[in-house]
Amino acid sequence: MSWLGMDFSIFAVCAGIKEKAKRFGGVMIRIVTNREQYQYDLHALFKAFYPEQDVRVYGSDTPDTTGEDDKTVVIHFEDRRVEALFDIDGKKRYTNVFRDDTDVTKKRLKRAVYEDLCDYTGRTLPWGNLTGIRPTKLSMAMLEEGASDEEIVAWMKGEHMVSDEKACLSLDIAKRERRILDKIHYEDGYSLYIGIPFCPTTCLYCSFTSYPIAQWKTRVEAYLEALFQELDYVADTYRYKLLDTVYIGGGTPTTLEADALDRLLSYVQERFDFGHVAEFTVEAGRADSITREKLAVLKKHGVTRVSVNPQTMKDETLRVIGRQHTVAQVREAFRLAREAGFDNINMDIILGLPGELEADVQHTVDELVKLGPDSLTVHSLAVKRASRLNQWIEENGIASLKNTDATMELARLGAERLGMSPYYLYRQKNMSGNFENVGYAREGKYGVYNILIMEEKQSIVACGAGSISKRVYPDGRIERSENVKDVALYIQKIDEMIERKRKLLTDF
């Protein structure tokens, strides 16, 4: 059934793409629309069905640069109507669709495009036509309005064509999140993020602010001095607010030497009141950055939660993604963390890593079950523009990245074997398999900060290069302030970073 009510599918424009895709990206799918606010959604939907293709969305005033093999879709909005033009094998067809009501039109457009893509490809997506919004936020909002479980699941399936499994997962997590966040101080409290943008090496898939520590050793002290200035401002400005959670991430914070790490944690605890802090997390992350001495520093300062993140328990894959440690080092780092007294250790894995198949995922899950972490974060590989993974795909093809229902199920069953339940969820653009990232944890071992950053119910003040602060107002409005990503520029412009915070955090 065509969303235009005609006897052809607009996605005949995609016919023959797979046969012609002899290079990465294949034929370009070129979408043209004069409504800028729809470009993200159109791109996301097409890309979800055709991850191997180069999908681009343009404004209607863009010069025609269509290649001879490119396929074009044009969706043009005029006063009180939408006109669609499709160039199929050189034949142009027009039709009028529906009246121009921005809110309704966008929903109908996304649904119609999704349904036609399903008809054409013969498959559906686990999250239906959802783009640009976190599924649990939808479930959470309906729970707060008093909707029943049955009403929420039915709405997710009917409005967004979400599968039964994913609709129930979203609801289950939303209900758990509400309980976990019950004691968080939304209006008179905040959470603090501190970014340490250094790593042993930069991973193949990484797009975060990350600088090889070997090249920046001589600038670490200068970075910390600038960071302390920013922390001073936050501590003074929010001295009357309650601090609920503290999260030190990166990068990899434990790339700092033990004395620098001790200095950082001492400074934070001197400047901020930890009397109400419910969770203090430090990402140890990379096994090649973890030592007994550093773990002792973290324990001395009352850190309650750490992450030891292998991503995979296959040495060959670790080499491919640029992590200069072994599976044996992961096991040793975890053992050291337990010996240091940490009873809340998270481990991250990524599904869809280059060359990994179901057997590799099963092996990773089995190895983690043997270790027995307290929480497990399962990521679906996301292809980021700023990562080196794009170049790898050009050389090796996207077919080497495999994430399926089966691999997601293997991870879920592993979490179940560990006595864990799902407690937070989020999705990103260009995720392998169009799935999601899910955090699992044992009772009482949840990562509260992870929920807060995703659900955007509390202000989060972020310090350090590349960090983003979010101020959440009582009416639900959210404003943001970004720090520059470049470390040298952050150090140089620290006064400007503080001024940006002043504009965000104060009302004068």
Q: Is the dihedral of CA 117, 91, 62, 34 positive or negative?
A: negative
CB 28 within 8 A of CB 14: no
DSSP bridge pairs for 211: 198
Same domain, 217 and 168: no
pLDDT of amino acid 504: 97
Least confident range from 132-136, 158-162, 211-215, 385-389: namely: 385-389
* Domain assignment of residue 507, yes or no: no
Same domain, 472 and 371: yes
DSSP secondary structure string, 322-363? T----HHHHHHHHHHHHHTT-S-EEEEEEES-TT--HHHHHH
The two beta strands, 460-463 and 189-196, are: parallel
Residue 160 has pLDDT above 60, yes or no: yes
Question: Where is pLDDT greater, at 145 or 101?
Answer: 145
Beta strands in 162-264 (DSSP E): 189-196, 198-199, 211-212, 242-250
Query: What's the rounded mean pLDDT across residues 151-170?
Result: 95
Same domain, 250 and 172: no
Least confident range from 2-11, 223-232, 363-372: namely: 2-11
Same domain, 241 and 93: no
Least confident range from 62-71, 87-96, 252-261, 333-342: namely: 87-96
Same domain, 256 and 115: no
Q: What is the rounded CA–CA span in Å between residue 494 and residue 500? A: 10
Q: What is the rounded CA–CA span in Å between residue 256 and residue 304? A: 19
Residue 336 has pLDDT above 50, yes or no: yes
Query: What's the rounded mean pLDDT across residues 270-287?
Result: 95
Q: Return the CATH number at 208.
A: 3.30.750.200
* Domain assignment of residue 303, yes or no: yes
Residue 89 has pLDDT above 50, yes or no: no
Residue 94 has pLDDT above 60, yes or no: no
Residue 384 has pLDDT above 70, yes or no: no
Residue 3 has pLDDT above 80, yes or no: no
Amino acid at 347: M
Same domain, 176 and 196: no
pLDDT of amino acid 153: 97
pLDDT of amino acid 79: 57
Q: Which residues contact 477 (CB under 8 A, 6 or more apart)?
A: none
Same domain, 199 and 222: yes
* Domain assignment of residue 149, yes or no: yes
Query: What's the rounded mean pLDDT across residues 217-229?
Result: 95
Query: What's the rounded mean pLDDT across residues 149-158?
Result: 96
Question: Where is pLDDT greater, at 32 or 484?
Answer: 484
Per-residue confidence band for 82, with pLDDT thresholds at 50, 70 and 90: low
Per-residue confidence band for 86, with pLDDT thresholds at 50, 70 and 90: very low
What is the percent of the chain with per-residue pLDDT over 70, rounded to a whole number? Answer: 80
Query: What's the rounded mean pLDDT across residues 143-152?
Result: 96
Same domain, 76 and 189: no
* Domain assignment of residue 130, yes or no: no
Residue 80 has pLDDT above 60, yes or no: no
Q: What is the mean pLDDT of the chain?
A: 84
* Domain assignment of residue 128, yes or no: no
- 3-state SS, residue 463: strand
Sheet holding 189-196, edge to edge: 421-426, 437-441, 375-380, 345-351, 305-308, 279-285, 242-250, 189-196, 460-463, 468-472, 478-482
Query: What's the rounded mean pLDDT across residues 371-397?
Result: 77
Number of compact structural domains in the chain: 3
pLDDT of amino acid 5: 35
Domain extent, residue 115, equals 10-121
Residue 93 has pLDDT above 50, yes or no: no
